[in-house]
Amino acid sequence: MLSDFDLEGKNKVQKAAYYLKNYGVGYTGKKALRKLGVPISQESEYMTFLRRVSPSKAELNVQRKSGLEGRFHFTVVLEQGEENRSMDWKKQTVLPVSVMKLKEGKTAEDILNKAKGDYLVFSGKGAVPRENFLYEICIAAELGADLIYTDEDNARGKKRFRPFFKPDASLEFLLNFQYLGRIFVIKKELFGKIVEKTKGELTVSGDDWYDIAIQSFLLAGQIRHIPKALFSNEMDGEGTGFVRGTGEKQGDALRHYLRTEGLKGNVKSSDVPGFFHVEYELKEEPLVSIIIPNKDHTDDLKLCLDSLKDKESYENYEVIIAENNSEDKATFDYYEKIQREDERIHVVTFQGGFNYSAINNFAVEHALGEIFLFLNNDTEFTDGNALKEMVSSVLKPGVGACGAMLYYGDNTIQHAGVIIGMGGFAAHALWSLRDRDETYYPFSLCEREVSAVTGACLMVRRKVYEEVGGMGEDFAVALNDVDFCMKICEKGYKILFNPYAKLYHYESKSRGYEDTEEKQKRFQKEINRFQEKWEKEIQAGDKYYNPNLTLHRADYSMDI
């Protein structure tokens, strides 16, 4: 299975043939028109998608007779000022529904005491549910869900646009902004536990339900995500962008989280309004063993080491350079020089042909740190926070490994996490795109769970590395990092992508995976091995990548 990543260096005829085969005439024609400068509306493409997936009137009538009527009773809590939304909820295909209009001074205890039935539906400012919202919620409720959320979009009149296709449950994602959206559903029993835990401190208005969302995530036994846009954010004026809250109470919800969980840290606003980042206080700075395989290319290695020494504020590290078959005498002279000048740097020699996994496994035997950072020699640290950010991420409870935001020299994205199944096996999210293009919000901005990260900059705790048996040496060149991450996930650990840890990675955009027939055959063998080993996981789909999104492109666009 090809993907858009394979088109670098192809001519126009080859590209056209690829798009016709994989996307059809309609998509190929639109892409050609865009290339010619003819504007093609993304809104019209999304409306076409909705016509294909939305229930018809006949299907809505079937839902009304489905037998789910009365199975659950819902209390809809309307945010103050949204009293006119009552009728939207009375038109649902599944009833009964009680509506509670939130007034000034109401507390979480008041909501709990007055709520009827089984579930609370929190409905915020400008949020309009689709008629089948509660029908879909009932199906999730039948499975025992405590917390249920859905995808969403924006709307102006009958026109719907800018869908937000969300990942499955992702606490780290939620700690950047309120990604559940302005409508979500909580079991009344769970809400009672939240009220008891927070002891009168739970915010119930003015923060887009952010406080409630975070506390729900922490206590829910089962979280269900429905990958359908079941409500819309009603837009005024000309607004078309990504909807999120921007008030000060958003930050207060995160500070409340730190208090309830006994954590120390600072809540900082992103340079993009509405997004936040928690800088956690490290109790200590554990030794990090930075492992860098190297063969000649001392200019690259020097840039990497100089940027580490000159720019990084985190100082408790050692560097292990895994020498592998260098031929230039200047390389060995450089090794001697840097070891004399910095006692933290050590060179070890791996005997044998290039095998990325074997080289790193060998270097680990010489490492003293409780944390390993596997790092390519063609990387450059850009500021003083990358190591601290990654250490902070990897030390979070339940986390096994983490990766950084990597940029090409032109400041486009080289790596923002790995998506399993893309291109038929795995590929980098947001590859070759811009991190401050709103088209790619929120994924380019947020620390979040991912299924894998690149080995070009991969941090892992020693305990986790040893538990999974290190890197698989049957993957000599390609996919060894993804296989390693998959083994970590298999053990129940999370993997994080942290965009606040930033490095350059000077890998050539146009080099392709391999440049000879022999290398291409070897690469294909490793793809086949990966697909066979992880077939079940690939078929199931990446839980942090919405099934409505394409597996052909890295831009989080729809599968149309």
Is the predicted pLDDT of residue 428 greater than 80, yes or no?
Answer: yes
Tell me the mean pLDDT in the region 349-371.
Answer: 96
pLDDT band at 14 (very low <50, low <70, confident <90, very high): confident
- Based on C-alpha coordinates, what's the Rg of the chain? 25
pLDDT band at 39 (very low <50, low <70, confident <90, very high): low
Long-range contacts of residues 103-111, Cβ cutoff 8 Å, at least 24 apart: 104/80, 104/205, 106/204, 106/205, 107/200, 107/202, 107/204, 108/191, 108/194, 108/195, 108/198, 108/200, 108/202, 108/204, 108/212, 109/195, 109/200, 111/77, 111/191, 111/204
The whole-number pLDDT of residue 1 equals: 36
| pLDDT over 70, % of the chain | 92
Is the predicted pLDDT of residue 526 greater than 70, yes or no?
Answer: yes
The whole-number pLDDT of residue 511 equals: 39
Tell me the mean pLDDT in the region 408-428.
Answer: 96
CATH topology identical between 57-280 and 288-540 = yes
The whole-number pLDDT of residue 17 equals: 78
Tell me the mean pLDDT in the region 356-382.
Answer: 97
Q: What is the pLDDT of residues 292-317, one digit of tens each?
A: 999 999 999 999 999 999 999 999 99
Q: Which helix (H) or strand (E) holds 288?
A: strand 288-294
- Residue located via tokens 């798009």: 19
State the DSSP string of 344-393: TEEEEE--SS--HHHHHHHHHTT---SEEEEE-TTEEE-SS-HHHHHHHH
pLDDT band at 521 (very low <50, low <70, confident <90, very high): confident
57-280: CATH superfamily: Spore Coat Polysaccharide Biosynthesis Protein SpsA; Chain A (3.90.550.10)
| pLDDT over 90, % of the chain | 79
Least confident of 4-18, 174-188, 200-214, 338-352: 4-18
Is the predicted pLDDT of residue 4 greater than 60, yes or no?
Answer: no
Q: Which CATH number is associated with domain 288-540?
A: 3.90.550.10
**Residue predicted with more confidence, 38 or 504:** 504
Question: Cα 314–318–323 angle (5° rounding)?
Answer: 135
Extents of the domains making up the chain = 4-40, 57-280, 288-540
Tell me the mean pLDDT in the region 127-151.
Answer: 97
Tell me the mean pLDDT in the region 266-283.
Answer: 95
pLDDT band at 36 (very low <50, low <70, confident <90, very high): low
Is the predicted pLDDT of residue 131 greater than 50, yes or no?
Answer: yes
C-alpha span between 230 and 221 (Å, rounded): 23
Is the predicted pLDDT of residue 512 greater than 50, yes or no?
Answer: no
- How far is C-alpha 497 from the geometric centre of its chain's CA atoms? 7
Least confident of 5-9, 408-412, 489-493: 5-9
Is the predicted pLDDT of residue 128 greater than 60, yes or no?
Answer: yes
Amino acid (one-letter) located at 71:
R
Tell me the mean pLDDT in the region 465-485.
Answer: 96
Is there a contact between 119 and 185 (Cβ–Cβ < 8 Å)?
yes
Is there a contact between 261 and 280 (Cβ–Cβ < 8 Å)?
no
The whole-number pLDDT of residue 81 equals: 84
Distances (CA, A) of 152 to 118, 264, 459: 24, 33, 34
Amino acid (one-letter) located at 286:
P
C-alpha span between 305 and 311 (Å, rounded): 10
Tell me the mean pLDDT in the region 341-361.
Answer: 96
* Strand-pair partners of 155: 160, 234
Q: What is the pLDDT of residues 77-124, one digit of tens each?
A: 999 888 888 999 999 999 999 999 998 889 999 999 999 999 999 999
Tell me the mean pLDDT in the region 21-26.
Answer: 65
The whole-number pLDDT of residue 242 equals: 86
The whole-number pLDDT of residue 37 equals: 57
Amino acid (one-letter) located at 545:
Y
Is there a contact between 260 and 198 (Cβ–Cβ < 8 Å)?
yes
Amino acid (one-letter) located at 375:
L
pTM for this structure?
A: 0.91
The whole-number pLDDT of residue 321 equals: 98
Backbone angles phi, psi at 210, to 5 degrees: -65, -45
Angle between helices 298-311 and 329-341 (to 10 degrees): 20
pLDDT band at 535 (very low <50, low <70, confident <90, very high): very high
Amino acid (one-letter) located at 469:
G
